[in-house]
Amino acid sequence: MLRIIAHSASALGANYGRAVGQRVYAAAGACSRLGAVLGSVPKTALVLAGGRGERLRPLTNDRPKPMVELNGRPILEHHLEWLRANGVERAVVLTGYLGGVVRDHFAVERVAGLRVECLQEERPLGRGGALRKGFEHARADGDVVATNGDVVTDQALSELAAAHERTGADATLLLKRLVSQYGIVEAGEDGLVRGFEEKPALPYWINAGVYVLSPRALARFPEEGDHETAVFPALAQEGRLAWWGCTGYWQSVETLKDLGLAEERLREAVRSARE
């Protein structure tokens, strides 16, 4: 049985950051152009961007977590660039804590070809409530992509969309292998050490905070509260919840360590592109 473990998802100059984005998401964009073969990516995305980012303080004292800078640009801007590279044309950004920072930043075009709308909650709605409100605002006539705006990834959304279409599910989750935060020791029953493995992938999956959702699924989301505690378990019991294992890079930025890892990954992408 598949076990899903829920996972809540340094400036180097703006020009450098934009170059990073153009290269990091090139592969994802190429996969997206194969959408007719893989899957049709929904044109509208709902992006959660209201997190307080307590573990990233003091960087979040004056901005929500997705607006913390990653190589000179907000995490959210990298995230939206990835969505656009995968064929998304409209992003409804769902804001809460210090939402004006998000609104002011995206008052001008930041990602070419992407229509960005900010929807501020008047009171805390929870993630499920925010997504439901965002869907009602968007008035999309079909499936939508839904994401946590603090995720940095190059995953091809066409793969996730294909899994959604193939299974006919009401909702499809992107999952990521859980990686041990520690090195593993292989211990023999005879008292001898057999070997070592540094931070291996474990036989469990985590929710990667990227979904394809149908109107049927979103109609069941609460007006206030979280979708992962009630709606997703119910869909799973009914056989209406599907998944796809992440085949690309993925990092949820929760801590300063996570931020550093994401920054290094983007630097590596630029170095590789120049070679």
- Cis before 222? omega within 30: no
**From 43, 65, 176, 199, active-site residue:** 199
Two structure tokens written together for 192: 């001898």
Q: CA triplet 25, 145, 116: central angle to 5 degrees?
A: 75
DSSP for residue 54:
G
Two structure tokens written together for 236: 């799973």
**133 tagged catalytic:** no
Per the listing, tokens 């900010």 go with 118
Per the listing, tokens 């656009």 go with 84
For residue 148, the SS3 value is: strand
Burial class (CB within 10 angstroms; exposed 0-12, middle 13-18, buried 19+) of 222: middle
Q: How many CB atoms are closer than 10 A to CB 147?
A: 27
Looking only at the bridges linking them, the beta strands covering 144-148 and 115-120 are: unpaired
Per the listing, tokens 């211990």 go with 187
Q: Helix 256-274 vs helix 14-24: angle between axes, to the nearest 10 degrees?
A: 70
Closest CA to 112 of 88, 142, 132: 88
Question: Which residues are known to be catalytic?
Answer: 199
